[in-house]
Amino acid sequence: MRILLVEDEPNLGAAIERTLKHYKYIVDWVKNGNDAWSYLENNWTQYTLAIFDWLVPGLSGIELLKKLRAKNNSLPVLMLTAKDRMEDKVTGLDAGADDYLIKPFGMAELLARLRALQRRSPQIQPQHLELGNLSLDYGSQTVHHLRSQGERQKVLLTNKEFQLLEYFMKRPNQIVTSEQIRNQLWEINAESFSNVVAAQVRLLRRKLEAVSCSNLIETLRGLGYRFNLDQ
C-alpha cells in the first residue's frame, strides 16, 4: 500500500516514514502542500491513504484537503495537527478529513488509525490475499506456500519482495511493464538504478523457487512481466 505523507517537521516526518516503511507501506514524503498537490494532480501513482499535517508551507493541509475533495477524490486522509480545540476538529472534519490525530502522538496510535481507515475504505484489500498456492497475510506481513498435503511453508521475503509479490498477485495473467512496477513500488524521489525492477524480480523468483513455486513470473522481452497462475 502506498501513502502520501505531507509533514514539514524533519524529525517527525522521518519517524513516521521509518515506521510506515517497517510495516511495508510505500511512502512518498513531501514537506509542503504545493509538492503534495503536484503528486496528486499528476497521478504519477495511485495512493491508498494520505497523511496531511495541518500547518505546512505552501498549501496548508486544510487547503490541500479542500482541493482534493473538490475534485471528488475520495482518498482516505488522516489529518495531523497540534490544534486541539473542538472548533478546529470540526473544521478539519468538515473540510473532508476522515480522521484527526493530535500531536504529540505515539506511532502505535498512528498505525491503529491507518488500519481503521483501511477497514472503512472500499478500495482497501482484505486481511488476506490468496492466489493459487500462495497466501499473503497483511496483518502479520508474511507469505506462505500452501503445499498439497495442507502444510504451510513460510516464504521469507524482504519488504520490497513482499510488495512486488503483492503487486503481481493482484494482477494475475496481466502484462505489466518495468515502468509501471517502478512507479507503483518505489518512492517518487527514490534513487534507483536502471535495472532495479529486474534485480528485484530475480530475487523474488529465487525465493519462490526455493519453495517449489517455479515459473510463476514470466519475463516477456520488450513488454514486461506476467504472473502466471497456470504454471
Name the phi and psi angles at 110, rounded to 5. -60, -45
Would the pLDDT of 126 be above 70? no
Mean pLDDT for 11-37 is 92
pLDDT recorded at residue 95: 82
Mean pLDDT for 38-50 is 80
Q: Which of 14-28, 105-119, 146-160, 205-219 has the lowest mean pLDDT?
A: 146-160
Name the phi and psi angles at 178, rounded to 5. -60, -40
pLDDT recorded at residue 5: 96
pLDDT recorded at residue 187: 77
Mean per-residue pLDDT of the chain:
86
Mean pLDDT for 6-26 is 93
% pLDDT > 90, the chain: 39
% pLDDT > 70, the chain: 90
pLDDT recorded at residue 226: 94
User: pLDDT: is 57 or 192 the higher one?
Assistant: 57
Written as nine digits, the cell of 104 is 504529540
CA-closest candidate to residue 63, choices 20, 89, 85, 32 = 32
User: pLDDT: is 217 or 130 the higher one?
Assistant: 217
Beta strands per DSSP E along the chain? 2-6, 26-30, 49-53, 77-81, 99-102, 128-131, 134-137, 142-146, 152-155, 175-176, 217-220, 224-227
Would the pLDDT of 123 be above 60? no
